[in-house]
Amino acid sequence: MDLGSRLLTIFVDALNECKDSQTRDMILFLEELCDLARRRRVRLHIADNVVFRGICFSSRHYPHIEIEKGIEVTLEDEQGHEGDIRKYVKAKLKLPKRKTKVELLQRSSLIFLWAVLVVEILNSEFGGSPNIDQMRKRLKNIPPKLADLFEMILTRDEKSPKLMQICLQWIFFATRPLKPQELCFAVQFGPNEDCPSGCWDQETVDVDDLKLFGRHSSKGLAEITRNKASEVQFIHSPSATS
């Protein structure tokens, strides 16, 4: 390898969201390409001074994706993954009792997103003065499957379904990621096109209030990124920021 060359590793996320035929064709192409490079004992150059190092795929368990040559890692079997969820629950769930946190971890089936959403639900419903028995009963009634949990979240609040609908539509259809202030402004006025001028004063808006408004109006399905951009995004399925 020439001096100054850089190694490039490619990460392809969420293969399960692609069509089966597309996934198979892509994997077959890359396997043949890598096999050809090995047989000819050459390196794959992506660009000038950029050498292909390897590729990492991520996918859910279904549909099963077969790769002939490579290392397979099952996230749920990794000790660090369970530890990350445990740390998140311990830090975020506003409850002194350890037993309920252990029960939540067990029911999560080590799905990080499930744990994040359930912590949000329990904090929202019992954050003020937690009733341990009521919280444990509530936890047992929460669906263990992620799809059923999403359905419960989207249908549980009969008081403000319009608020959630408007919030999710703004996040989904926006031509660019929205700032927390922009989302708050847009959701509050909804489809009203005759908003009075001068009605928005950013100096009077508290950051914590914006985060709380975003969580409430999206029912916990959206979050504010923890980077300098500080934008609103949907909670990602494969993992959650923590």
Domain boundaries, the chain: 6-72, 77-155, 161-234
pLDDT-derived band of residue 45, with 50, 70 and 90 as boundaries?
low
Whether the pLDDT of residue 209 is over 70: the answer is yes
pLDDT at residue 141, rounded to an integer: 92
Identity of residue 65: I
DSSP assigned state of 192: -
pLDDT-derived band of residue 115, with 50, 70 and 90 as boundaries?
very high
Mean predicted confidence (pLDDT) in 153-174: 81
Mean predicted confidence (pLDDT) in 122-146: 83
Give the Cα separation of 79 and 101 in Å (integer): 18
Identity of residue 48: D
Higher pLDDT, 24 or 210: 24
Whether the pLDDT of residue 199 is over 60: the answer is no
Higher pLDDT, 45 or 213: 213
Q: Which of 229, 235, 200, 201 is nearest to 215 (CA)?
A: 235
The whole-chain average pLDDT of the chain stands at: 78
Q: Which helix (H) or strand (E) holds 45?
A: strand 45-47
> Nearest-5° angle of CA 91, CA 96, CA 97?
110
Mean predicted confidence (pLDDT) in 11-40: 83
Please give the C-alpha separations between residue 78 and each of 12, 33, 69, 82, 167, in angstroms, as whole numbers. 20, 30, 21, 7, 36
* DSSP codes joined into one string, 179-225: PHHHHHHHHHHTT-S-PPTT---GGG--HHHHHHHHHHHHTTSEEE-
**Could you report the per-residue pLDDT of 47-102, keeping only the tens digit for each?**
667 777 788 888 877 777 778 777 888 776 777 788 888 899 988 887 766 778 88
